[in-house]
Amino acid sequence: MKYMLILISLILAEDFYSQGVTPGDWGLKAFQIHDPELGQINFYITENGIDQDKPVLFIISGSKGLPTLLVVRSGDKSIQLGTIPPDQINSFSDQFHVAFIGKPGTPFSDTLFTDEINPIQNLEDYQPSVEYIQKCGMEWEVKASSLVIDTLCSILPSTGDKVVAMGFSEGGRLVVRLAAANKRITHLVSVICGGLNQFYSSIINRRIDAASGAMTHAEAQEAVDSLFAIYKEIYNHPKNTDKWYYGHPYKRWGSFCTDIPLEHLVKLDIPILFVNGSADRSTPILQADYVMLEFIRLGKTNLTYHVIPGANHWFYEVVIEDGKEKPVSHRKEAFNIISGWINPGNSPTE
């Protein structure tokens, strides 16, 4: 949804306000693929031990056509906001060749000039490229990512015995589709992601609001009816890039909300990790719970499911201290779960 990547970026920004603006500043080496169908594909690999035989960790970030690094400038002040967490890049690079793909038509870094530094608003104000808008959706990202994984396995000194695909938020849905398409992937990590139609999240939230008293049942029904109306409009125009809803062109919604991750997940026999927060409204936990229930029903044992109680979509929990709301981070807990699962016995630490 609209704020998924924005707030993830805001939380992560504190880690690298003083970081440089080139791939080399991040310890990365930039590569390009020129494909007749997909156009230019930019991807990046950690330089640490790039000549060593290591497994591959491929990461897909969240939503919207943002660069890996966005520098926001206002007068003589500036901040840096990013879409790939530094702890994934730096901490895993001793054990893995870590790689990720850029959004179509989007540079590694870009600068936004503004009158006021306000990270959430600044990221909203960033205008994605025309190429991104024309190519946004699952199809380009999955095809391009699959091509990059094939390339990684051919150019890196890796046995290919272990290729981990990991995605966050929207990226969590993408890696599920990717694992279904590319059989080189041996392990799948889907973080803060559901398994059902993405549109269903807003419907769930309205029903929960009514049950909790945040709105009346009549108000919730009116809201749900309005959602059905806009969803019908999107499904009637699934390729439209002129009409927008909730921060994305119809084309993006038409692509993502036609694909149901659960349909792919139950066909996979590779090890799968799901990590979610129980207080997540962007991807309500009920969606992930249903995935686990379906695996149990089918007798499948390849899904590991971790839920962090009280954590929201960004692994923060809001607690009340002295009558005031205080955010408590569960990011380290989530990170340790992921790192321990993909590299048991030899996990990086923050």
Question: What secondary structure does DSSP assign to 287-300, as a single string?
Answer: HHHHHHHHHHHHT-
Average pLDDT over every residue of 32-51: 96
Confidence of residue 87 (pLDDT cuts 50, 70, 90): low
Using the predicted structure, report yes or no on whether residue 9 has a pLDDT greater than 60.
no
Average pLDDT over every residue of 123-149: 95
Would you state the pLDDT for residue 6?
36
237 and 180 in a common domain = no
Domain boundary pick from 239, 259, 279: 259
245 and 325 in a common domain = no
Question: 320 or 209: whose pLDDT is higher?
Answer: 209
Is residue 10 a contact partner of residue 117, using CB atoms and an 8 Å limit? Answer: no
269 and 171 in a common domain = yes
Position 348 in a domain: no
Would you state the pLDDT for residue 147?
98
103 and 55 in a common domain = yes
| Residues belonging to the chain | 350
Question: 147 or 14: whose pLDDT is higher?
Answer: 147
Q: What is the pTM of this model?
A: 0.90
**Assigned token pair, 152:** 């990684």
Taking the C-alpha atoms of residue 270 and residue 184, their distance in angstroms, rounded to an integer, is 11
Using the predicted structure, report yes or no on whether residue 221 has a pLDDT greater than 60.
yes
If you average pLDDT over every residue of the chain, what do you get? 90
- The domain containing residue 207 runs over which residues? 197-259
Count of structural domains within the chain = 2
130 class by beta-carbon count within 10 Å (0-12 exposed, 13-18 middle, 19+ buried):
exposed
Would you state the pLDDT for residue 123?
85
Position 329 in a domain: yes
Instruction: Report the candidate in 325, 141, 330 with the shortest Cα–Cα distance to residue 251.
Output: 141
Domain boundary pick from 209, 236, 259: 259
Confidence of residue 11 (pLDDT cuts 50, 70, 90): very low
Confidence of residue 197 (pLDDT cuts 50, 70, 90): very high
Using the predicted structure, report yes or no on whether residue 10 has a pLDDT greater than 60.
no
Is residue 317 a contact partner of residue 14, using CB atoms and an 8 Å limit? Answer: no
Percent of the chain whose pLDDT exceeds 90: 79
Element (DSSP H or E) covering residue 121: helix 119-125
Using the predicted structure, report yes or no on whether residue 33 has a pLDDT greater than 90.
yes
64 and 81 in a common domain = yes
Element (DSSP H or E) covering residue 321: strand 316-321
Confidence of residue 124 (pLDDT cuts 50, 70, 90): confident
Would you state the pLDDT for residue 86?
63
Would you state the pLDDT for residue 2?
37
Would you state the pLDDT for residue 88?
63
Position 103 in a domain: yes
Rounded to 5 degrees, what angle do the CA atoms 338, 340, 346 make? 135
Using the predicted structure, report yes or no on whether residue 34 has a pLDDT greater than 80.
yes
Position 317 in a domain: yes
User: For 256-305, what is each residue's pLDDT tens digit?
Assistant: 999 999 999 999 999 999 999 999 999 999 999 999 999 999 999 999 99
32 and 74 in a common domain = yes
Using the predicted structure, report yes or no on whether residue 16 has a pLDDT greater than 50.
no
CATH number at residue 278: 3.40.50.1820
Using the predicted structure, report yes or no on whether residue 350 has a pLDDT greater than 50.
no
Position 350 in a domain: no
Would you state the pLDDT for residue 158?
83
158 and 254 in a common domain = no
Confidence of residue 84 (pLDDT cuts 50, 70, 90): confident
Position 70 in a domain: yes
Would you state the pLDDT for residue 349?
45
Would you state the pLDDT for residue 217?
98
Would you state the pLDDT for residue 344?
86
Question: 345 or 298: whose pLDDT is higher?
Answer: 298
Would you state the pLDDT for residue 17?
45
Rounded to 5 degrees, what angle do the CA atoms 117, 130, 173 make? 80
Average pLDDT over every residue of 209-235: 98
Instruction: Report the candidate in 66, 86, 91 with the shortest Cα–Cα distance to residue 4.
Output: 66
